[in-house]
Chains A and B, each alone.
Chain A
Amino acid sequence: MEHYTMNLTLKVWKQKNKNEKGRFETYQVKNVSSEMSFLEMFDVLNEQLIAEGKEPIAFDHDCREGICGMCSMYINGRAHGPWHHTTTCQLHMREYKDGDTIVVEPWRASAFPVIKDLVVDRQSFDRIIQAGGYVSVNTGNAVDANALPIEKHMADEAFASAACIGCGACVAACPNASAMLFVSAKVSHLAMLPQGSPERKERVTNMINQMDKEGFGSCTNIGACEAECPKGISLENIARLNREYIGAMFDGGSQNAK
């Protein structure tokens, strides 16, 4: 594709801290290359702001290669922008043309309070993982990888669920701000493997309890999460989570659950 440059208008959410009220600020960004990533465009804008003696825009990022899940931006109404299966760092400016206006907001959910500008606090996800997203066995020496036979299709499905990078786009996109896609990916990934299976009932109970405590909404099967997930986590995981939960409801084995 041919390279081109563009001038853009950006409307970006600015918010000093958790407690202050935020507002939109309008910026002009000049000479943006079509080959830049969306975050590089923000770097250019921030350099420009620093040169002008203004405060740069705070945003989260880390790997910039689509695997860490940090780059939360809600771009023109879409989590991580309009590209399918893509994080913000992998969105490229060839999506836009000269003169475009782009509105950038933070993830909005009561369970993800804004810390500053586009940066939100996603520790609620960490606490859900702490509630059950682990396998508690003493590992000792690493065992031979082939010592534990796992059916191919189970291994594949567990792997697909394990692809979740905890970015929170599912929550951001959900009209109910529900975290069910994230939780279902974690519950599925562990429940399908023999190492995770013994604790499956306590796990699903404790993780759902924590999810509710954190103030996420409840799932009404709208499906916007699946449409926006950068890792293609499927709604089938939520069906599996529900099955796990119903199983735990009927079973005394979940008595260890908090």
Chain B
Amino acid sequence: MSWKNAFSSSVGKKIQMALTGLFLVLFLVVHCYVNAMIFWDDNGAKFTEAAHFMGTNVVIRITEIGLFAFLILHIVQGLKLWAQNRSRRNTRYAVSAGNATSKWYSRSMGILGTLILLFLILHISAFWAPNRASQTMGNGELDLYAMMRDAFQSLFVVVIYVLGCISLAWHLVHGFYSAFQTLGLAMNKYKGIINVVGVAFSIIVPLIFALMPIAFYLHWIE
């Protein structure tokens, strides 16, 4: 089998989804860890220090390029898979099994992913893009802590962020297990532990993210 074949076959594409998905999971760990420093409630001192490192370190900046490449691959491949799979059944069933044979979130990865994508567009254009633009123009880094504090005074913005986190949580409840299954690692003897870790991750990480806008809005931190 040539490598080209391996990447164009249905299983090859699934492996791309799994590897890029797991990379995004790793990214979430780092992103969550850095941003959780706002909870020190030291007027953003610790957070700003970490954000400065993340925004200026060469290794991190190169990894960031990889992150965007993987994210785009995950999105493009994901949406293509979704559209292709829908076209594999020309006539729909008049009566469908619904939740009797599978979970709603497992069937809704395309929709959940699209919600995450919409959220990401808003999120990236609110923080990452202006910060990098300012750096590129030689004006230095922006005060991300102050930007967060200001943005999250709006209830509307907070609600959008919480909805984004909820979409991410459900995407991960299926996605975490699914990636291990795709890589052939979810044998029965490991399935239990994969599911426990997956569900715990899917709850804890999005919850910490969701608490950030909530904490600013409710003035738990200033």
Contact = CB atoms under 8 A, between A and B. Distances in A.
B88 A111 contact: yes
B14 A218 contact: yes
Contacts of A67: none
Interface in B9-31: 9-15
Contacts of B109: 220
B6 interface: yes
Given A110-B88, A177-B88, A254-B1, A242 B102 contact: no
Interface in B73-97: 81, 84-97
Contacts of B87: 110
A219 B14 contact: yes
Nearest to A113: B90
Contacts of A167: none
SS class of chain A's interface: helix, strand, loop or mixed?
A: mixed
Given A108-B92, A219-B10, A221-B178, A178 B101 contact: no
A248 B1 contact: yes
Contact of B181 (A208, A224, A242, A245): A242
A255 B97 CA distance: 42
A109 B92 CA distance: 9
Given A212-B9, A221-B174, A227-B102, A249 B1 contact: yes
A246 interface: yes
A103 interface: yes
Contacts of B136: none
A217 interface: yes
Interface in A240-258: 240-246, 248-249, 254-255, 257
Nearest to B182: A242
B89 A109 contact: yes
Interface in B186-204: 186-188
A223 B103 CA distance: 9
A205 interface: yes
A215 to B, nearest CB: 6
For chain A, which range describes its interface: under 10, 10 to 19, 20 to 34, or 35 or more residues?
35 or more
Interface string A209-233: 1011001111111111001100000
For chain B, which range describes its interface: under 10, 10 to 19, 20 to 34, or 35 or more residues?
35 or more
Which of A177, A209, A221, A257: most chain B CB closer than 10 A? A221
Contacts of B98: 77
Contacts of A103: 94-95
A249 B6 contact: yes
Contact of B101 (A173, A220, A239): A173
A239 B187 contact: yes
A209 B187 CA distance: 24
B220 interface: no
Contacts of A108: 89-93
Given A77-B96, A242-B184, A212 B88 contact: no
Contacts of A176: 85-86, 88
Given A76-B95, A175-B107, A177-B88, A208 B182 contact: no
A5 B182 CA distance: 48
A178 B85 CA distance: 8
A203 to B, nearest CB: 11
Given A176-B88, A249-B1, A221 B181 contact: yes
B106 interface: yes
B177 interface: yes
A21 B103 CA distance: 32
A24 interface: yes
Contacts of B1: 201, 205, 248-249, 254-255, 257
Given A209-B9, A228-B97, A246-B15, 7 more contacts: A110-B88, A177-B89, A221-B178, A221-B181, A239-B186, A241-B184, A249-B1
* Closest CB pairs A-B (n = 7): A243-B184, A218-B10, A217-B88, A176-B85, A242-B184, A77-B95, A177-B88
19 contacts: A82-B100, A108-B92, A111-B88, A208-B11, A217-B85, A217-B89, A218-B85, A219-B11, A221-B182, A222-B106, A223-B102, A223-B103, A224-B97, A234-B188, A235-B181, A238-B181, A240-B187, A242-B183, A249-B6
